[in-house]
């Protein structure tokens, strides 16, 4: 199970006053009045931008994303230590979810007999997701899915999972475009971005795994997506292009 851990993401808030949120929230960029070491070079570039340049960057990023998203002119930066913590934690959580699904669909329901999760809670979740009535699967059935939980930090800086996303992960097709837009619209970031992890090998690793599985089972690796009219933005098209470049064929379901 792999986590989506791009080293450069996008901040969901702007910055004006150093340490402005430090009393109640974890400040990603500042530790008190000091810039965190892994942000220093990025902050040096960002702090030289005037208000007009920052607004222009946002406008240009919206254009790059065909109106889907807007980037802010300072990227989210994770240290290697933070990345390692997230990788281990997300991997552990994904495996726990896999084991729960296998337990439920095998019919064993050890989670209930051991008193770990009340059965009423599980049934209520199935009612909400309209998944009641699905057949049980054998113990050997493999539950494989893209997994990318929404994560924040609490005031102490501890990572917390807000929501588990199984299968449907927002931003999966936007990693390359975000990087491209960032360095195109603020060229000073390019040297720094070149030293971070590139998303290309991430996509290739996934595609190679699908191609291997298809070959082992005399099958065909396909990326199946809904008709473009059913999409809320252009991310699906970007994702199709990425996987096609890595040898995965596309199949678009017709209808709405």
**Stretch among 33-42, 56-65, 229-238 having the lowest mean pLDDT:** 229-238
The pair of structure tokens assigned to 130 is: 């309209």
The pair of structure tokens assigned to 91 is: 């991997």
pLDDT for 246 beyond 70? yes
Contact 165, 150 (CB under 8 A): yes
pLDDT band for position 82 (50/70/90)?
A: very high
Residues 6 or more apart in contact with residue 6 via CB below 8 angstroms: 175, 178, 179, 197, 199, 202
Beta-sheet strands, E only, within 16-157? 30-31, 34-35, 75-77, 150-153
Is beta strand 75-77 parallel, antiparallel or unpaired with respect to 159-163? unpaired
Note the residue count of the chain.
Answer: 256
**Stretch among 27-36, 141-150, 239-248 having the lowest mean pLDDT:** 141-150
CA distances from 55 to 50, 124, 170, 177 (A): 9, 45, 24, 19
pLDDT band for position 225 (50/70/90)?
A: confident
**In 3D, which of 177, 152, 149 has the Cα closest to residue 163?**
149
pLDDT for 5 beyond 80? no
CA distances from 65 to 72, 119, 251 (A): 13, 44, 23
What's the confidence (pLDDT) of residue 233?
81
**Stretch among 29-33, 179-183, 193-197 having the lowest mean pLDDT:** 193-197
The residue-averaged pLDDT of 33-37 equals 95
Is beta strand 75-77 parallel, antiparallel or unpaired with respect to 8-10? antiparallel
pLDDT for 70 beyond 60? yes
pTM passes above 0.85? no
């Amino acid at each position: 199970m792999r986590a989506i851990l791009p080293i450069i993401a996008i901040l969901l808030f702007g910055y004006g006053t150093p340490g402005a949120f430090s009393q109640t929230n974890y400040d990603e960029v500042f530790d008190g009045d000091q810039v965190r070491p892994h942000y220093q070079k990025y902050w040096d570039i960002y702090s030289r931008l005037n208000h007009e340049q920052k607004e222009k960057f946002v406008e240009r990023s919206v254009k790059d994303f065909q109106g889907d998203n807007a980037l802010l002119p300072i990227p989210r930066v994770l240290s290697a230590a933070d990345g390692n913590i997230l990788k281990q934690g997300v991997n552990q959580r994904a495996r726990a979810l896999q084991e729960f699904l296998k337990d439920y669909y095998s019919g064993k329901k050890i989670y209930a007999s051991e008193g770990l999760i009340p059965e009423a809670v599980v049934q209520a979740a199935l009612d909400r997701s309209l998944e009641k009535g699905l057949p049980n699967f054998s113990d050997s059935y493999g539950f494989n899915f893209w997994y990318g939980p929404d994560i924040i930090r609490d005031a102490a800086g501890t990572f917390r999972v807000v929501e588990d996303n199984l299968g449907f992960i927002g931003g999966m097709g936007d990693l390359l475009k975000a990087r491209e837009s960032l360095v195109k619209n603020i060229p000073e970031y390019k040297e720094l971005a070149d030293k971070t992890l590139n998303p290309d090998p991430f996509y290739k690793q996934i595609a190679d795994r699908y191609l291997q599985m298809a070959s082992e089972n005399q099958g065909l690796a396909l990326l199946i997506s809904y008709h473009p009219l059913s999409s809320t933005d252009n991310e699906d098209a970007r994702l199709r292009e990425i996987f096609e470049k890595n040898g995965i064929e596309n199949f678009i379901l017709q209808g709405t």
